Amino acid sequence: MVSLDVFGTDPHGRKVHVLTIGQAPGPVLQLLDLGATMHRLEITGGDGRRRNVLLNLATPEDYLASTAYLGSTVGRYANRIAGGRFQLDGRSYQLGVNDRGNHLHGGPDGFHRRHWTVAESSPDEAVLELLSPDGDGGYPGTVHVTARFRVGPDRLRLDLSATTDRPTPVNLTSHAYFNLDGDEAGTIDAHRLTLAADAYTPVDDAGIPSGELAPVEGTPFDFRQPRPIGSATRSDHPQVRAAKGIDHNVVLGDRPGPAAILVSEATATRMELHTDQPGLQVYTGNFLDGSARSAGGRLLRQGDGIALEPQLFPDSPNRPEFPAPWLAPGQTYRSFVEWRFVTAGA
């Protein structure tokens, strides 16, 4: 085990730890046991300079007060469930609601607020575990979750897995916000984004999908060719207006390569995101309103970073036409996300 340093103390007097994996000049990750949170990720940019590319907060108190899920591992169900309600095996379940009458990212006390246990660690790997009891947040079944973070010379990978003792919906993801020019650099408007998605799931004003898989063709969601993010977030498309930017799930097609590519020409830095998930929530930090201060002491504002959250589609417990979210005893939920950093000049 590598040593755990104290990051701070939560409002109940409980210590929050930070552990560091990876080695310069490769990616170096600082991980918190609170929320299995990716707090800092230092990489070498294409310009040869090291910088932290994750938006973050300064203290455990700030993380617990925030509803931005900065860097956190979210669950039991990432994204929204309409009204917090679903039916399973003839029974109705009511989950906690925390977003315009809907359940978001596990509800009022989601996995991002929990103290995870560091089960294993080495200089380049850490395994965090969480036990979510039967009835947790209104969900049925005791769920055991594992988050394995592994750093390689040019990449960071997160493998998520879960088992249950009763059928329950499970949808886990990482809610890291990236700014490839550094967390203090300003907006990601000029970053170029490419998405392996021909369709997206349009939503109502509260972010609940209509069920339609709409073609991206001719919309601000068309990132099949690299485009600056600002060109989409400033479009007056009704879906963008309602969300105050991009806050949408795109439908990832079958592909041999990355689901998303993010490039900053300013620092010649390129990130590829690989995943096995069918959807990717693309969120341009629309609710970052300057009320929270980053660990670097700067107020976080809209567009300072972009979250690319691989997951199932929103509200899939109520949408039999979407990929199914159900986990049963004897099965293992698995998903992965891998971020590869290729300096643009390399």
CB 338 within 8 A of CB 258: no
247 to 286, contacts with ligand GLA by CB under 6 A? 247, 281, 283
Residue in 92, 161, 116, 112 with CA at minimum distance from that of residue 327: 161
35 is a site residue for ligand GLA (CB under 6 A) = no
Give the single-character DSSP code of 211. S
67 is a site residue for ligand GLA (CB under 6 A) = yes
Q: Indicate the SS3 state at residue 115.
A: strand
Q: Which of 207, 279, 303, 305 binds ligand GLA (CB under 6 A)?
A: 207
**How far is residue 21's CA from residue 170's CA, in Å, rounded to a whole number?**
27
Q: Which two tokens stand for residue 42?
A: 């230092």
In the complex, the smallest distance separating the C-beta of residue 92 from ligand GLA, rounded to whole angstroms, is 25
**How far is residue 169's CA from residue 24's CA, in Å, rounded to a whole number?**
39
In the complex, the smallest distance separating the C-beta of residue 178 from ligand GLA, rounded to whole angstroms, is 13
**How far is residue 63's CA from residue 70's CA, in Å, rounded to a whole number?**
8
Helix (H) or strand (E) holding 65: helix 60-65
78 vs 127 by CB, closer to ligand GLA? 78
In the complex, the smallest distance separating the C-beta of residue 246 from ligand GLA, rounded to whole angstroms, is 10
69 vs 322 by CB, closer to ligand GLA? 69
Q: Give burial (CB, 10 Å; 0-12/13-18/19+) of 235.
A: middle
**Interface mask (CB under 6 A) for ligand GLA, residues 80-119, using x and -?**
------------------------x---------------
Active site residue ranges: 175, 309
Q: Which of 68, 203, 240, 306 binds ligand GLA (CB under 6 A)?
A: 68
7 vs 69 by CB, closer to ligand GLA? 69
Binding site for ligand GLA (CB under 6 A): 67-69, 104, 207, 247, 281, 283, 287, 307, 309
